[in-house]
Amino acid sequence: MWWPFGSADTPVVNPGGGVGPAGAVLEGYRHSPSWLSGLVHPGIVALSVPLVLLWARQRRVADGLLLLAFLLFLRCLLDPWNNVYYVLPCVLALVAFDASRGRAPLAAALVTGATWLTVVELSSMVSPDAQSAAYLAWAVPFAGALALRLYAPRRWARARAAVRAAVAPEALPVTRRSSAPSGTS
């Protein structure tokens, strides 16, 4: 999320594709702004307090695993660096949430696939700017969907029903058939 605010000071061309010297930024990449480094990690922890208190007001204890998944995903979204394994705790919380309801872990599969695609696969295909944009294109709406599900469950149910209605195949007209065997009517 902080990529646009990063700086590309002291780029290092590294033809071997490896990591540059300590503190150096590879060509096309950025490092976190200095003002950000001391704020983000404490900020992520501090942000969890009001989010938990807001959730607790609803008294929906059954959604505790979803709250955990949301907070862990926010850590991925708000951290100034991202590694493919950062999302694993969120994925595990999503799997546990769906398993507790007897459902297939579709959200966990979605976030796993999207993370792998944007963090691993796209890194060799597109510029770091495009990779960041691709990540934000799915990660911000995903975080919003988790927040909507947690903090506005009725609105979430209406939105989900509207999406299902929009993508459901239209009902085919039903024709009456005779119950008599063919050729005997």
**Does the pLDDT value for residue 48 go beyond 50?**
yes
* Residue 19 pLDDT: 47
Q: Does residue 24 lie within any of the structural domains?
A: no
* Residue 106 pLDDT: 93
* Residue 140 pLDDT: 95
* pLDDT per residue as tens digits for the range 121-177: 988 888 888 888 899 999 999 999 999 999 888 888 888 888 778 876 664 455 555
Q: Does residue 143 lie within any of the structural domains?
A: yes
* Residue 132 pLDDT: 86
Nearest to 75 by CA among 24, 143, 127, 171: 143
Domain count of the chain?
1
**Does the pLDDT value for residue 17 go beyond 60?**
no
Strand partners, 5: none
* Residue 142 pLDDT: 96
Average pLDDT, the chain: 79
**Does the pLDDT value for residue 34 go beyond 80?**
no
What is the pLDDT averaged over residues 40-57? 86
Q: Please tell me which residue, 18 or 34, carries the higher pLDDT value.
A: 34
Q: Does residue 47 lie within any of the structural domains?
A: yes
Q: Does residue 6 lie within any of the structural domains?
A: no
Q: Does residue 100 lie within any of the structural domains?
A: yes
Count other Cβ atoms within 10 Å, centred on residue 55: 20
Q: Does residue 174 lie within any of the structural domains?
A: no
Are 115 and 131 a contacting pair, CB within 8 Å? no
* pLDDT per residue as tens digits for the range 97-119: 999 999 999 999 999 999 999 98
Q: Does residue 7 lie within any of the structural domains?
A: no
> Whole-prediction pTM value?
0.74
* Residue 80 pLDDT: 76
Nearest to 26 by CA among 133, 134, 123, 135: 123
Q: Does residue 176 lie within any of the structural domains?
A: no
Task: Pull the structure tokens for residue 157.
Answer: 């149910």
Locate the DSSP E strands across 90-176.
Answer: none
| Residue range of the domain that includes 148 | 32-153
**Does the pLDDT value for residue 180 go beyond 60?**
no
3-state helix, strand, coil in the chain (%, to 5): 65, 5, 35
d(CA 120, CA 113): 10
